[in-house]
Amino acid sequence: MRISPDEIVFFEYGFVKINFTIVTTWALMLFMVIGSFVITRKLVIETKISRWQSILEMILIGIKGQIEEVGLHKSKSYIGFLGTLFLFLFISNLLAVLPVYEPPTSSLSTTAALAVSVFFAVPVFNIMEHGILNYLKSYVKPIPIMLPFHIISEFSRTLALAVRLFGNMMSGVIILGILITITPLVFPIVMTAFGLLTGSVQSYIFTILASVFIAAAANEGEKDIGS
Amino acid sequence: MLFDWFTFVAQIINFFILIWLLKRYLFKPILNAIDERESLIAQKLRDAEESKVNVKKEYEQYQQKNSEFDQHRDDLLNLAITDINSEKVKLRDQTRSEIASLRTKLKEALHNEQLNMGTEIIRRTRSEVFSVVRKTLGDLASANLEEQITHVFIKQINELNSDERELLQAALNGSADEIVVRSVFDLPIIQQDNIKNTIQLNFNILPIIKFETSSQIIGGIELITNGYKVSWNIEDYLALLEANITERLNQNIEIMI
């Protein structure tokens, strides 16, 4: 039984493999960029705006609000990373209703890649915010002996993030596949609906957790500066 | 295969490319649009607030002007009322004065008219009466009438009261001229003698009497001596009638006024 869309390989040349995950990711990227371009091409700053612009603005303002709620006050600095993360996960999971399509997030490679991105984003944002010295100092706080525990914490957090999303998305796809073989009618539709729900929730959770990690590190840095 | 390193690396790269693209084509334009709109709305709100303040200021100015205008209007109205009242009083006084003047003039006019009318009535009455009496007396004038008139005249002389008698006596005594007796017609000798005798008997003098006729006397006899006159005359009755008519007319005019 196929667990990951990585197993569908279209092209292979040595280490390089163009599989279904990469292809769907490219398609998604293309879809999102073209969609963004089309919508933002006719942006107006008047008080009366188009429906699409209104929807996009609502989504962005929502993301911005969520980012600010978790404690990241300079939301504009983080919205590029966190907004892209959320939109990619959300659209990726939402399109699971399409036949043939398998979300890239059901591949551990993708979720791990996103988790590692978050893993690197946390120190990058922290350093950008407070400087490298303060960031490094946070690893030996409150006592230097805590350094290994901080490092373990960082890795385990990243791993948990990756596996959580992968597990949810992959399980949804697998359960759907199993159900289609057992009861091909009606029940898969319900499960697909559930899949949409869990996909949306997971994309939200993933983004919020990434925000919380970044915010926690940023606030830790602020506290250090304060102390 | 659960994990593929190439996919892992490719997805990281894809993700960062996507971040860059979305930042460029989605987040930045939209956030800029939102910011611009917010600043536009903020500007509009500021303008609206400013307009509100201006409107409030203008409204207050308007209210003030309105109250000033009301006050001015009330002042003018009060002034006008005062002027009207004083003018009314003035006009009333003037009208009263004119009415009084007109009434006086009317009174005078009526009085004059009354006088004229009275005079006219008297004149006409007198004329008519005199005409009738004259005609009647003319018709009746005869020796017998003259005799009766003479008889009445003699009786009058005989019945003079003491004061009149004294006055006539004094007049007769002090008279250097002759005594004149006037009548309408020539008195017969016998009546002339009767008059002479009556004077002689009553006043103890021998009178020299000159008997004259006068058309002015309607009917009657008069004796004139030294500015004193004794007469019996129908004219006296007519004078009494004239006095009565005049008094009645005066009463009527007073009622009219």
Q: Residues B143-171: what's their mean pLDDT? A: 82
Question: What pLDDT sits at residue B48?
Answer: 92
Tokens of A90: 């959300």
Q: How far is B81 from chain A (nearest CA, A)?
A: 60
Per domain, the residue ranges of chain A are 5-226
Tokens of A134: 């303060």
Q: How far is B9 from chain A (nearest CA, A)?
A: 7
Which residues contact residue A101 at a Cβ distance below 8 angstroms, ignoring those fewer than 6 apart? A24, A95
* DSSP per position, A10-55: EEEETTEEEEHHHHHHHHHHHHHHHHHHHHHHT---SSS--HHHHH
Q: Is the dihedral of CA A191, A197, A199, A201 positive or negative?
A: negative
Query: Is pLDDT above 50 for A226?
Result: no
CATH code 3.30.360 for B143-237: yes
Instruction: Tell me which of A27 and A220 has the higher pLDDT.
Output: A27
Interface of A with B in 108-147 (CB under 8 A): 108-110, 112-114, 116-117
Most confident of A24-33, A72-81, B98-107: A24-33
Residues of B in Cβ contact (< 8 Å) with A60: 26-27, 30-31, 34
Q: Encode pLDDT of B62-75 as tens digits.
A: 999 999 999 999 99
Q: How far is B55 from chain A (nearest CA, A)?
A: 24
Yes or no, beta carbons of B7 and A6 under 8 Å apart: yes
Instruction: Tell me which of B123 and A184 has the higher pLDDT.
Output: A184
Question: What pLDDT sits at residue A17?
Answer: 86
Yes or no, beta carbons of B23 and A80 under 8 Å apart: yes
Helix intervals (H) in chain B: 5-22, 28-140, 143-158, 162-173, 189-203, 234-256
Q: Which of B1, B7, B30 sits opposite A60 (nearest CB)?
A: B30
Q: Encode pLDDT of A156-187 as tens digits.
A: 877 777 777 777 766 766 777 777 777 777 77
Q: b/e per residue, A202-220, with b = 16+ CB within 10 A?
A: bbebbbbbbbebbbebbbb
Query: Is pLDDT above 70 for B1?
Result: no
Q: How confident is the model at residue B60 (pLDDT cuts 50, 70, 90)?
A: very high
Residues of A in Cβ contact (< 8 Å) with B36: 45
Look over chain A and give the mean of its residue pLDDT values, rounded to a whole number. Answer: 82
Instruction: Tell me which of A29 and A175 has the higher pLDDT.
Output: A29
Interface of A with B in 77-106 (CB under 8 A): 79-81, 83-85, 87-88, 104
Residues of B in Cβ contact (< 8 Å) with A68: none
Yes or no, beta carbons of A40 and B25 under 8 Å apart: yes
Q: How confident is the model at residue B138 (pLDDT cuts 50, 70, 90)?
A: low
Q: Find the closest chain A residue to B15 by CA distance.
A: A114
Q: How far is A145 from chain B (nearest CA, A)?
A: 33
Yes or no, beta carbons of B22 and A113 under 8 Å apart: no
Look over chain B and give the mean of its residue pLDDT values, rounded to a whole number. Answer: 82
Question: What pLDDT sits at residue B230?
Answer: 83
CA distance A204 to B199: 170
Q: Encode pLDDT of B206-229 as tens digits.
A: 778 888 888 777 667 888 887 788
Q: How confident is the model at residue A227 (pLDDT cuts 50, 70, 90)?
A: very low
Q: Find the closest chain A residue to B32 by CA distance.
A: A45
Interface of A with B in 55-74 (CB under 8 A): 56-57, 60-61
Q: Residues B75-88: what's their mean pLDDT? A: 92
Tokens of A109: 């490679």
Query: Is pLDDT above 70 for B81?
Result: yes
Q: Which of B3, B21, B40 sits opposite A108 (nearest CB)?
A: B3
Closest CA to A170 of A112, A88, A123, A118: A112
Helix (H) or strand (E) holding B225: strand B220-225
Q: Residues A75-97: what's their mean pLDDT? A: 89
Percent of chain A with pLDDT over 90: 10
CA distance B81 to B95: 20
Q: Find the closest chain A residue to B35 by CA distance.
A: A45
Q: Are A75 and A64 in contact (CB under 8 A)?
A: yes
Can you tell me which residue has the tokens 């960029």?
A: A33
Yes or no, beta carbons of B21 and A46 under 8 Å apart: no
